[in-house]
Copies of this chain bind each other. A is one copy, B any other.
Amino acid sequence: MDILKDLIKKNEAKIVLIVLDGVGDLPGKDGKTPLEYAKTPNLDSLAKESATGFHIPVDLGITPGSGPGHLGLFGYDPKEIVIGRGVLEALGVGLTLTDRDIAARGNFATVRYEGDTPIVVDRRAGRIPTEENQRLIEKLKKEIREIDGVEVILKSGLEHRFSVVFRFPDEVSQESAQINDTDPQVVNLPPLPPKGENEPAERVARVAQKFIELCAKVLRDEERANYVLLRGFSVKPKLVPFSERFGVRALCIAYYPMYRGLASLVGMTLLDNVGGTIESAFLALKEHFSDYDFFFVHIKKTDSYGEDGNFEGKVKVIEEFDRELTRVLELKPDVLCITGDHSTPCPMKGHSWHPVPVLIHSPYVLGGLSQRFTERECLKGELGIFPAVKLMPLLLAHAGKLKKFGA
């Protein structure tokens, strides 16, 4: 990647990267994968004149979460960059993180008291409904805004989960998040006090301890959620911003907070008010097409149907994508890449390690090797099977944005 740094060349060429989340799959109906089963005339035509292949999101056999999956596509090595649990949770609920933030994931929990000592009875407070969670977070926000000069930012997640960010006056270091989880992992034990592994972390741990005590006080009369457990203390990874690293002005067109958060981590501009449909994403792409030269368009539903094991649903969203694709083709991007961040095979109802089909359309391809954009057809393509982290250099090259290396 070091060699790339000196090769970046800016030009007007436009790159569109469409991520069909979890698109890769395994045989389902009639021995076909959703991509194989779906009727996709537009994708078929495109595949025939594109470079095709497979990317390996992280490594052989490794099933990536959304974080590592997207980092790879964005050209950052997912094996070297750790996104902490707390940071990911914050991104997932739509919080924006700064260099002054320590993020942790919170769980509402139920405790009983032995004297003054809390004893965990339910680590998830009976999985309270999200509405109750929201009521409690409002209550906490009113009472806890700042602790020893540290701003406290709270946001509800689903059921018993919430996100807490401690925003310090100054930049925080990676080490200052080295604090244990307070969840004792089993019931009938007291919560663990947060302890820092070093001096800066101790400072954060003291704030966290006060936060926990304040929460216990505010929640004292709640029937179920009368305590909070914190885990995954982390700071946002320090990354060379995408625009600097690759010399492009990048726009993120994504609906879900998690993917917006991941794009913001690498410094992409986030487009606000993106709708949840494929059509609205592509309309937004058209509207802003002249303002940027790299577009990350995230489409979620392929993954959701995969997670549900809903083969027909995944087929339908692929067919919908195929119909809407004409909107993208009309814009004639110099480089169009369609792929996924990982596979989410319907039979597995979850992410998997399987390599992911990739298609790169540009004038500079061999083409004629894959008849369709499917797992088995992409295997015949000119790109072979390559690490996801190498996709960005490939896209830049096809867009004429990389100079010759050496003379």
Contact = CB atoms under 8 A, between A and B. Distances in A.
Contact of A79 (B3, B365, B398): B3
Given A60-B386, A366-B26, A384-B384, A67 B396 contact: no
Nearest to A33: B366
A74 to B, nearest CB: 14
B366 A68 contact: no
Interface string A372-392: 000110011010111000101
Interface stretch (A12-20, A194-202, A345-353): A345-353
Interface-centre pick from A88, A350, A405, A406 (highest chain B CB count, 10 A): A406
Interface in A245-284: none
Given A364-B348, A384-B384, A406 B78 contact: yes
Nearest to A62: B405
A333 interface: no
B365 A376 contact: no
Contacts of A353: 394, 397, 402
B65 A406 contact: yes
A4 B60 CA distance: 10
A129 interface: no
A94 B67 CA distance: 48
A60 B352 contact: no
Interface in A25-45: 26-27, 31, 33
Contact of A61 (B61, B363, B393): B393
A61 B390 contact: yes
A407 B367 contact: no
B406 A83 contact: yes
A54 interface: yes
A85 interface: yes
Contact of A364 (B26, B79, B88): B26
Contact of A404 (B33, B64, B88, B403): B64
B405 A58 contact: yes
Contacts of A59: 3, 390, 393
B66 A407 contact: yes
A163 interface: no
A375 B406 CA distance: 24
Interface in A116-148: none
A407 B88 contact: yes
Nearest to A393: B61
A368 interface: yes
A4 B62 CA distance: 8
Contacts of A364: 26, 345, 347-348, 352, 354
A293 B30 CA distance: 32
A146 to B, nearest CB: 29
Contacts of A404: 63-65, 350-351
Interface in A314-351: 345, 347-348, 350-351
A218 interface: no
A366 B62 contact: no
A377 to B, nearest CB: 11
A398 B403 CA distance: 35
Contacts of A85: 407
13 contacts: A3-B58, A26-B364, A61-B390, A61-B393, A61-B394, A61-B397, A64-B405, A67-B406, A82-B406, A347-B364, A353-B394, A355-B384, A385-B386
Interface of A: 3-4, 7, 26-27, 31, 33, 54, 58-68, 78-79, 82-83, 85, 88, 345, 347-348, 350-355, 363-369, 375-376, 379-380, 382, 384-386, 390, 392-398, 402-407
